[in-house]
Amino acid sequence: MADTVKLMKKIARLAKEKKKLRFMEVCGTHTVAIFRSGIRQLLPENVELVSGPGCPVCVTNDEYIDKAIAYSRKKDCVVVTFGDMLKVPGTRSSLAGAAAADGDVRVVYSPLDSLKIAKENPRKKVVFLAVGFETTAPTQAATVLAAKAQRIENLFMLSAQKLVPPALRFLLGDAAVKVDGFLLPGHVAVIIGADAFNFLAEEYRMPSAVGGFEAEEILTALASLLEQVDSGRAEVANDYRSVVKAEGNVAAKKILAQVYEVADAEWRGIGKIPASGLKIREEFAAFDIECVAPIELERVEKKTACRCGEVLRGVINPPECPLFGKACQPLHAIGPCMVSVEGVCVAWFKYGRNNFKW
């Protein structure tokens, strides 16, 4: 508690008499931790925290969900996924809706669980929904390697992994996005290393800090950002040194590079970001369901008043969306930001109503 008080005093001193500052966290776990600990309410009035595209479920686009639903409805397919993907809306339905009708959708806690399902269903194509950032992608790559080693020929990936650094570069090129620094995701940095974010300082002169997820760790990172602003410098401060190394996890990166290669990717509400996703390499194409059994979807334009895209870019806060807290609530989500436990709209709905006017 004493350290927290010291950090708050330091932040208040550094922020005094400065212009309005906006720092963006780009990790759903940070978003939830910030709300739970009441950090937003403790910060000086001229220091604002905004949430970026830090929830992989939230940035998974309609077409991917539509494909997953289509595979689940094929008689020879089983779709395997994490639970937070079930309610993500596609163009017309969700995986939960498909499962309630004629789809075969099964929830697992690890990609490796899909190996067992594949063994138990040798006549079925078992399709794992490989969604996530750099944090989970190595485990998904390891699952492919395990399937190959065990000669499991009916396990496949439907890949939609996203890469954080290209998304930050994209945001900095968006005139509508106004930020003065980034609170960088500790979990991602564990894999790719703090040095992977050096371009923020070197190319954009953008103060940045890698932070952990306890209140004191988050406040330490915020103090680092304010110190950089105060001194007029820009760097990538590693304030999560207990687990984050400059070079990251070399073994995990090696596995990832063995199975996947960088590709352009569609981000829900944002659009196509160059070199911001992963696709399975040609030598592992036998594990790519889109290579083995491609599905052509009818293109359908989805019209909605949901402003999730602007929320994901930090352009607006959730209460500024006309659906937030009304038609769109956790039990009846219109947009993906209200689906995942790490979604920014869920965090605002669950923790913000008593602290902010909306």
Domain count, the chain: 2
In a shared domain, residues 256 and 287? yes
On whether residue 138 sits in a domain, the answer given is yes
Q: Which residues pair with 208 in a beta bridge?
A: 182, 236
In a shared domain, residues 214 and 176? yes
In a shared domain, residues 95 and 153? yes
In a shared domain, residues 232 and 262? no
Please give the chain's pLDDT, 358 residues, in tens. 558 899 999 999 999 999 999 999 999 999 999 999 999 889 999 999 999 999 999 999 999 999 999 999 999 999 999 998 998 888 888 999 999 998 999 999 999 999 999 999 999 999 999 999 999 999 999 999 999 999 999 999 999 999 999 999 999 999 999 999 999 999 999 999 999 999 999 999 999 999 999 999 999 999 999 999 999 999 999 999 999 999 999 999 999 999 999 999 999 888 999 999 999 999 999 999 999 999 988 776 777 889 999 999 999 999 999 999 999 999 888 888 998 888 999 999 998 765 554 4
Residues 211, 212, 218, 222, Cα dihedral to 10°: -10
On whether residue 297 sits in a domain, the answer given is no
Identify the pLDDT of residue 70. Answer: 96
In a shared domain, residues 153 and 219? no
228 vs 15: CA distance, rounded Å: 11
On whether residue 303 sits in a domain, the answer given is no
CB atoms under 10 Å from CB of 309, counted, come to 18
In a shared domain, residues 90 and 139? yes
Half-sphere exposure in the Cβ direction for 122 (13 Å, CA): 3
In a shared domain, residues 181 and 154? no
Q: Tell me the CATH number at 105.
A: 3.40.50.11740
Identify the pLDDT of residue 336. Answer: 87
In a shared domain, residues 256 and 157? yes
Q: Where are the beta strands (DSSP E) in the chain?
A: 21-25, 47-51, 77-81, 105-107, 125-132, 155-161, 181-185, 208-211, 236-238, 260-267, 271-280
CA-wise closest residue to 90 among 293, 277, 263, 304: 304
In a shared domain, residues 69 and 140? yes
In a shared domain, residues 159 and 87? yes
Consecutive H or E run containing 144: helix 137-149
In a shared domain, residues 98 and 203? no
Identify the pLDDT of residue 2. Answer: 58
Identify the pLDDT of residue 333. Answer: 87
Are 129 and 158 contacting, i.e. CB atoms less than 8 angstroms apart?
Answer: yes
Residue ranges making up the domain that contains 35: 2-55+165-238
Of 238, 268, 284, which marks where a domain is finished?
238
In a shared domain, residues 71 and 129? yes
Q: Tell me the CATH number at 26.
A: 3.40.50.11750
On whether residue 319 sits in a domain, the answer given is no
The DSSP secondary structure of 64-83, one letter per residue, reads HHHHHHHHHTSTTEEEEE-G
Q: For the chain, report the end-to-end CA distance as a whole number of angstroms.
A: 31
